[in-house]
Structure 1
Amino acid sequence: MNRQWVLARRPVGQVGLGDFARTDAEIPVPDLLKGEILVRNRILGFDPAQRGWMDQGAGYMAPMALGEPVRGSACAEVIASQNPAYPVGSFVRGLFGWQDYAVVAKAGETAPISVPEGVQPEEALGVLGAASLTAWAGIKTVGRVKSGDCVLVSGAGGAVGSMVVQIARLNGARVIGIAGGAKKCRWLTQDYGTDAAIDYRTENVSARLAELAPEGIDLFFDNVGGDILEAAIAHMALHGRIVLCGSISSYNDEQPAPGPRNLSRMISYRLQMQGFILLDHLDQVPQASAELRNWLSAGQIRYRTDIQHGFDAIPATFLRLFTGANQGKQLLTIDT
């Protein structure tokens, strides 16, 4: 059987276990069309953006369908193939969903990404996966980081943020990270090389920014939104750039929270603010992947993965993203 976790109902406010249902379906018959492959998922990755895909309404991706496997990233083994680019026994990654098996590489769909020889599945979804590629595109292409910049990163202890701070540092920037809790702040300064860290749970973010960036922030990479975005706007330097990658502070809100109250500063300080998603920068994936692999081989970047285990633990593992329980990129290995 093909075990599946499906979206049972659209979450209202805080996502919970009751929004998902466990079901079994038949394994897709490997009577594949030309170009298609049948894969077996081995490890799943979890991202806050999945919460937004569960809502009904317009977005950069179509909403998940009720009763269908929850959309999510996976690294999978090819077990049948009608596509010479994906031989049996090779590994690929893509949005294969919360299930054991999937038919992918269908006509009109985004092609799965081959996992290079020597790259482990947890690396393919972690340090070399979509979160790191997002960090690369956001800080280099959208943010245009340069040597000497004062860079601020919110959600800096997470999968995207922890890579952003390191890429900014490798490009000669002075980096300040914001994270929740003393442990994650220690990671930022001791492991990821930030010049300073702010614990938003125990410190006044605005007051600390005044101390740490008296001449203003040149580039703010935001994964959080809400009050932290407002505080950052208040401390931006003239002609500063703001990159909007995520807004996890509001993903579970039943009603939209009020926006930053100081947007007039965007005018007086001639600030630029731009949202982005990785899908707009897929042409840069080869370059980004090569640079990330070089940095990893040279020991210039560090990373953490939080690996849970077992098919039945999938929904609870996803919820860890919204309590801060995850200790690095959240992954789960599927038992066989």
Structure 2
Amino acid sequence: MGTIGKIARRTFLVGTALVAGGLAVGYYFHRKPYPNPLDDELVEGETTFNPYVKIAPDNTITLIAPRAEMGQGVATTLAALVAEELDVRLEQVIVEHGPAGHAYVNTTMLEEGVPFPHFDESTMAETMRAGMGVLGKVLGIQATGGSTSVVDGYYRMRQAGAAAREVLKLAAAKRLGVEAGSLRTADGAITDPASGKTFTYGELAQEAAAFAPPAEIRLRERAEWKILGKPQKRIDMHAKVTGAPIFGIDVRLPGMLFATLRMNPYRGGAIVGFDAAEAEKMPGVVKVLKVETGIANGFAVIADNTWRAFQAADAVKAEWAGAAIRPTMPIFERFWRMR
């Protein structure tokens, strides 16, 4: 896969659109841009340039990793794609998981789900991939899986970093009265070699958000990479080994209850017998109820702690039907196996 040297304005705008308050680098909803989900959660003074970059006046730079970090290191890798083009070091940035938003659509999951091997570049295979890519944009599915995170974000997130870098340079050029092309970026700052003046990204962020991207945006060639292709420390490693992160299982809220599910082992199979009388008499049990979606059917036990929920679930007498529903189209069969 070769590096794109320049992005023509028309091509770049396929994945880029101006939104209120900044530049959104994402996918179109068919031909319309998805809103930047960061616009609604900015703190005072903070600026977003696209769904992947936020910059505060104190030069706190936050990069968004829109895929779930499940131990595969994707938060570090996706942040590195943006950081490379934004010209900041990984240790300079804060990495956050992306909020829910169609701007973080993963079209590659659908494109790679077509019934053709990866190496098949025939007209039929490429046509189906393109069609599924359009469908992915329309559906706006924000998902992680199928080893698609980096493939999906490789150009998009680099473009996001490059776009933010260039509008920051435009803001600096306006202040200095020079051409943006004469300025240099490094480690979250812009320097004018002629005068020696330097501005941090934070100093320029609010002004820069008002600029449209230039007609051509150059991505770094492989030989110029400072981060990509080189070993990097996992940005989440220290926090994980010291037990700092709060995971879902760690959350405790006032009056919080706990639930456990028992589902028919045959997908689509019904629950035909259900006796929860004994379970409902057990200490700490709040309620036992059926869960029937047609695809997955079973029951849930709600209790005041997990152990009591587990014990009560064992006491429920359930009888399952063995009929299973399975998809027949190859693309849905693939997603079936991933669930």
Which TM-score applies when normalising by structure 1?
A: 0.25
Per the normalisation by structure 2, the TM-score is 0.25
Larger Rg: 2
Whichever structure has more helix as a proportion of its residues is 2
